[in-house]
Chains A and B, each alone.
Chain A
Amino acid sequence: MPSIPASAELPEPVLSVRDLVVEFPTTDGVVSAVNGVGFDLAAGETLAILGESGSGKSVTAQAVMGLIERPGRVVGGSVVFGGADLLAASDEDRRRVRGSGLAMVFQDPLSALNPVWSVGFQIGEVFRVHRGASRKEARRRAVELLERVRIPAAAQRVGEYPHQFSGGMRQRVMIAMALALDPRVLIADEPTTALDVTVQAQILELLDDLRAETGMGLLLITHDLGVVAETADRVAVMYAGRVVETGPTDAVLVAPAHPYTEGLLASVPRGQSGREERLRPIAGAPPSLARIPSGCPFHPRCPYVVDRCRAERPPLEGTGRAAACWRSDEVGRGRR
């Protein structure tokens, strides 16, 4: 599926995030859940943000959407969309961008849909909020959207309530709501995590088709390497609130340049038949965000660690193909 060539010369990005820092006060002091994250997303492209829970990937998505709630705070960086920095925009301008320019699909479609309104009403609501549509017009558009996300018998089901839909159908409803106003960027935060495996593939395929149809940029937040391999053109791997490796999906998954990415790949079963396979988990546990190790945050778990890693944090150079590692040239050598 990946189609964008492995080069740094990408088309003008629709969404450009730089040096994003998000802080949360906790009893252990202020922690930075996101600490200098940056990436570009081009129109028609799928960028996966890959990371474990606590890596800051969902907080990044929320910060881009402007959904960080108190006591959390975006303390630095920029989110440039449509030529303007959203972090510097007024609340009202940001509100107008949400839904129409940037839209988001959530992890659990049951809790992300309001139980007291029919799905048709909730989809139609988007048209009433942004376009001042009448109830009748909103309902007609809702049926169209349900058809577009391939919900069978859309015209009959438009009046039903979220709990009457299966998990996969609910996620289709969420996607329909997000696509209502043809956003230029769709952020999908673990869109398949709450779904059955058989349904996951259908939802990913739907997202991919819709991306191709509309030319929107798709920012896919996930912890699932399989999802990345199947769907993403490019991938940004996050660890402890930072992007540690980025590049075209093929390149990153075939020849990881950061020990963490390498560790992730080694801990996933390949499913090659006729070969006994040992999974190699990454030693240790992800750091607490309140106590991020000095230097490279991955150094306590890293098999390649040298003294320099403990003292100096390696930078991530550029957004094309890069890894924040002092020894990335050596990573992958001697791999079986």
Chain B
Amino acid sequence: MTVTDALAAGEAPVREAGLWSDAWRQLRRNPLFLGPAVVIVVFTVMAVAPGLFTRADPRACDLSHSLLRPRAGHWFGYDLQGCDYYARVIHGARVSMTIGIATVAGTAAVAVVLGTLAGFYGGLVDTLIARVTDVWFALPTFLGAIVVLSVLGGNGLPQLTLVLVLFGWPTMTRLMRSAVLVVRDMEYVTAARALGAGDVRLMVRHVLPNALAPVIVYGAIRVGIVIAAEATLSFLGLGLQLPAISWGLMIAGAQPRLLSAPHLLLFPGLFLSVTVLAFVLLGDALRDAFDPRLR
């Protein structure tokens, strides 16, 4: 828009933006977003292509190197089996990132569909979904996860993801529902209806884009929580089992030798904490960017 156009329209020139581009404009200058974003990109690349970070094979182990401390060329030392610990920690990123992202994607899919239907239609649909959510919400996550995992038998990535989605969807569904309840009553939804838009179009075009921000924010934080939950379950022996490579398993293996070989705990613990922190900070930055009151 040129200045003359603006004057012709009788208003001051304003920046060109909508809700999403406004948020992006704010985010790309925010170090609290850029920092975590870079960390997450690095860990994602690590998960997809660990070969870029290490040539060593995490499963090529030599018992003569068992529990050796960090040294030149092997900066993270060796584990009990004499495997290169740096290679193992790098390869552990894949499990954490996969489970974090897959679980949150699955949870969000359930939450967005159920939350939108409940919030948009209200009435019986809402009552039904809200009550099921409440009942499910009352189930204790870890206890429930332990029971289901022990029933499922196999403790691979798919089972862990399933369990974490199973016990994670109610919170996000509630969040989505309440956001939709607010947006549904906006006048632009009524206006679109007055112009002949059907229910599906109203939900997809008008309700979702305006109600999605809280779920995205919570989703980012949730990735961190889920990664920690996988580590916890694996540590407790209910998640992945050896010979899988995961930070949780490494921390579990480090526990009995905490004093003699502290590097076994230090490195996977550090990677885990940094990953979780990055997602939580990213969520915070997203929340600030989507909340116009904080601008």
- Are A and B bound to each other? yes
Which residues of A line the B interface, CB within 8 A? 65, 67, 70, 95-100, 103-104, 106, 108, 111-118, 125-126, 129-130, 151-153, 156-157, 159-161, 163-166, 168-169, 174, 177-178, 180
Q: Which residues of B contact A157 (CB under 8 A)?
A: 1, 5, 9
Nearest to A107 among chain B residues (CB) is B187
Q: Are A166 and B210 touching (Cβ within 8 A)?
A: no
Q: Which residues of B contact A177 (CB under 8 A)?
A: 191, 195
- From known contacts A106-B187, A153-B9, infer whether A178 and B18 are also in contact, taking CB-CB under 8 Å: no
Q: Are A153 and B11 touching (Cβ within 8 A)?
A: no
Chain B, range 190-224, C-beta contacts under 8 Å to A: 190-198, 201, 205-206, 209-210
11 CB contacts below 8 A, A to B, read: A67-B190, A99-B196, A104-B195, A106-B187, A106-B191, A112-B187, A116-B210, A129-B195, A157-B5, A159-B16, A166-B9
> Least Cβ distance of A46 to chain B in Å?
19
Q: Which residues of B contact A163 (CB under 8 A)?
A: 14
> Least Cβ distance of B14 to chain A in Å?
5
Q: Which residues of B contact A108 (CB under 8 A)?
A: 187
Q: Are A161 and B9 touching (Cβ within 8 A)?
A: no
Rounded to whole angstroms, the CA-CA distance of A111 and B187 in the bound complex is 6
Nearest to A153 among chain B residues (CB) is B5
Q: A99-B195, A116-B209, A156-B1 are in contact. List 13 more A-B contacts (CB 8 A).
A: A67-B190, A97-B196, A99-B197, A106-B191, A113-B191, A114-B192, A116-B19, A126-B196, A153-B2, A160-B1, A165-B11, A166-B11, A177-B191
- From known contacts A126-B195, A157-B9, infer whether A113 and B1 are also in contact, taking CB-CB under 8 Å: no
Q: Are A98 and B10 touching (Cβ within 8 A)?
A: no
Rounded to whole angstroms, the CA-CA distance of A111 and B206 in the bound complex is 12
> Least Cβ distance of A126 to chain B in Å?
5
- From known contacts A153-B9, A157-B5, A164-B16, infer whether A98 and B196 are also in contact, taking CB-CB under 8 Å: yes
- Asked if B186 lies at the interface with its beta carbon under 8 angstroms from chain A, I say yes
Nearest to B197 among chain A residues (CB) is A129
Q: Are B190 and A165 touching (Cβ within 8 A)?
A: no
Which residue of the partner chain, among A67, A100, A113, contacts B188 with CB atoms under 8 Å? A113
Which residue of the partner chain, among A117, A126, A151, contacts B18 with CB atoms under 8 Å? A117
> Least Cβ distance of B158 to chain A in Å?
36
Q: Which residues of A contact B206 (CB under 8 A)?
A: 114
Which residues of B line the A interface, CB within 8 A? 1-2, 5, 8-11, 14, 16-20, 122-123, 186-188, 190-198, 201, 205-206, 209-210
Nearest to B183 among chain A residues (CB) is A114
Q: Which residues of A contact B10 (CB under 8 A)?
A: 166, 168-169
Rounded to whole angstroms, the CA-CA distance of A180 and B196 in the bound complex is 12
Q: Which residues of B contact A130 (CB under 8 A)?
A: 196
Q: Are B11 and A169 touching (Cβ within 8 A)?
A: yes
Q: Which residues of A contact B123 (CB under 8 A)?
A: 70
From B18, B201, B210, residue with most partner A Cβ within 10 Å: B18
Q: Are B194 and A65 touching (Cβ within 8 A)?
A: yes
Q: Which residues of A contact B122 (CB under 8 A)?
A: 70
Q: Are B1 and A115 touching (Cβ within 8 A)?
A: no
> Least Cβ distance of A104 to chain B in Å?
4
Rounded to whole angstroms, the CA-CA distance of A125 and B8 in the bound complex is 27
Q: Are B5 and A164 touching (Cβ within 8 A)?
A: no
From B14, B193, B194, residue with most partner A Cβ within 10 Å: B194
> Least Cβ distance of A221 to chain B in Å?
13
Q: Are B193 and A98 touching (Cβ within 8 A)?
A: yes
Q: Which residues of A contact B193 (CB under 8 A)?
A: 67, 98
Nearest to B206 among chain A residues (CB) is A114
> Least Cβ distance of A298 to chain B in Å?
31
Rounded to whole angstroms, the CA-CA distance of A185 and B22 in the bound complex is 37
Q: Are A174 and B197 touching (Cβ within 8 A)?
A: no
- From known contacts A114-B210, A161-B16, infer whether A104 and B5 are also in contact, taking CB-CB under 8 Å: no
> Least Cβ distance of B163 to chain A in Å?
35
Nearest to A167 among chain B residues (CB) is B11
Q: Are A169 and B9 touching (Cβ within 8 A)?
A: yes
Rounded to whole angstroms, the CA-CA distance of A190 and B72 in the bound complex is 78
Q: Are A103 and B16 touching (Cβ within 8 A)?
A: no
> Least Cβ distance of A139 to chain B in Å?
16
> Least Cβ distance of A72 to chain B in Å?
13
Q: Which residues of A contact B16 (CB under 8 A)?
A: 159-161, 164
Rounded to whole angstroms, the CA-CA distance of A168 and B9 in the bound complex is 9
Rounded to whole angstroms, the CA-CA distance of A106 and B189 in the bound complex is 12
Q: Are A67 and B187 touching (Cβ within 8 A)?
A: no
* 6 residue pairs, one from A and one from B, having the closest CB atoms: A99-B196, A99-B195, A152-B8, A111-B187, A112-B191, A153-B5
